[in-house]
Amino acid sequence: MFWLANAKKNKKGLCPIYIRITISGKRTEISTNIFVNPANWDSHKKKIKGSEELVQLQNKRLTQFEAEINRIHLTLEQHSQTVSGEKIKSLLFQKPALTFLEVYQKMIEEKEMLIGIEYTARTLEIYQTNLNHCKDFLRKTKQEQIAVADTKTKFIKEYEHYLKTVVKASHNYAVRILRNIKQVVQYAIAHEYVESSPLLAVQFKTKESKKNRVYLTHEEMNLITNHTFVNPTLQKIADLFIFQCLTGFSYADIATFKFDADTTKHNNRVFIEKQRQKKQEGTPQMLPIVTQAMQILEKYQMKLPIISNQTYNRIIKEIAAVVGITKNLTTHVARRTAAMYWLNDKDISFEIVAQMLGHESDRTTRKYYAHILIAKIDENLKHLI
């Protein structure tokens, strides 16, 4: 059954051990992926010579191969199925039937290895959070052992309902989580755990928000800038928030900003030239550092304070209450404030604002971050009156 393929010796001088199955005169050869020195192969006993731990493990694996082939052969006969070498080979190396959660975890583990190459640590946190939601859903519905092949349209509908009613996710947030489910299915197909899935045809569409997008006016920014906070943590976060309003930085960009690495000089002006953390490749964020932003950097010796995202968003709301701002402040509000200021006060085009925000296209800028104010339209159309 076992034989050494001397003709397939590798660069290290080792030869692979093959399994030969002969049924009705037809031969099928299967590689065991075990390589040995030809001098250590016992062609009579069909085993590897030696008593070392590695040799013992390799011989044990050969025994397991033989036992598994005999089991498959017997099972096929018992079920009156056609027995062939190719059929045995196919069943011998068949992918294990992993559960949906196991495949999900494997996908995340592979992405984790690409942190800093294709993904950021923050992206992996989001994947893990989405996996935890899925685990909770499957546990509550007693479906922990569900296979990838069984995650069909009904599964998606039930999970969507769970996200919106139990997790209290908005429609668009639920859609982002459900898109992860589709990624898991695509991963499973690519790695041959399943052949296909009806979920590939399902489209997860977000809804355009009709609510007014929040941003700060100059007067509101000045309320924060001109206030002296007794609590040092509040003062640090107030400074960071204003720095965001002046640069359009997201929280992730703030947390990873390094002055020496992320700035350059042009015509005696200091420019930020930074690859956004949300995208490891593509259009970098490029803009000059204005005087007020530079003063904040100098205050902290060119190294911005690091505050956790959760703490940051919580304290921003405390800051708003202290200075009398009634708007719901978040880190996204600061980024949008920057876009509105550049577009409406500085008369910078959408194309340039997109570059300053690090967007690959000005369509994103138009859709999410800025719109023309009525006062700006009035100013530009006075000649028509």
Rounded mean pLDDT of 351-379?
Answer: 68
Rounded mean pLDDT of 266-295?
Answer: 80
What confidence tens digit (pLDDT) does each residue in 103-123 have?
999 999 988 888 877 787 878
Rounded mean pLDDT of 61-82?
Answer: 86
Half-sphere exposure of 39 (CA within 13 A, CB side): 1
Burial class (CB within 10 angstroms; exposed 0-12, middle 13-18, buried 19+) of 211: exposed
CA distances from 154 to 169, 179, 182, 186 (A): 19, 15, 14, 18
pLDDT above 60 (res 39): yes
What is the predicted pLDDT for the residue at 163?
A: 94
Domain 100-201 architecture: Orthogonal Bundle (1.10)
What is the predicted pLDDT for the residue at 317?
A: 93
What is the predicted pLDDT for the residue at 196?
A: 78
Rounded CA gap, 143 and 138, in Å? 5
What is the predicted pLDDT for the residue at 309?
A: 84
What confidence tens digit (pLDDT) does each residue in 78-98 have?
877 778 888 888 778 766 667
pLDDT above 90 (res 297): yes
Domain 218-384 architecture: Orthogonal Bundle (1.10)
Domain layout of the chain by residue ranges: 2-92, 100-201, 218-384
Range with the poorest average pLDDT among 155-164, 211-220, 245-254: 211-220
What confidence tens digit (pLDDT) does each residue in 308-361 have?
888 898 999 999 999 999 999 988 899 889 888 888 777 787 788 887 887 777
Rounded CA gap, 184 and 75, in Å? 32
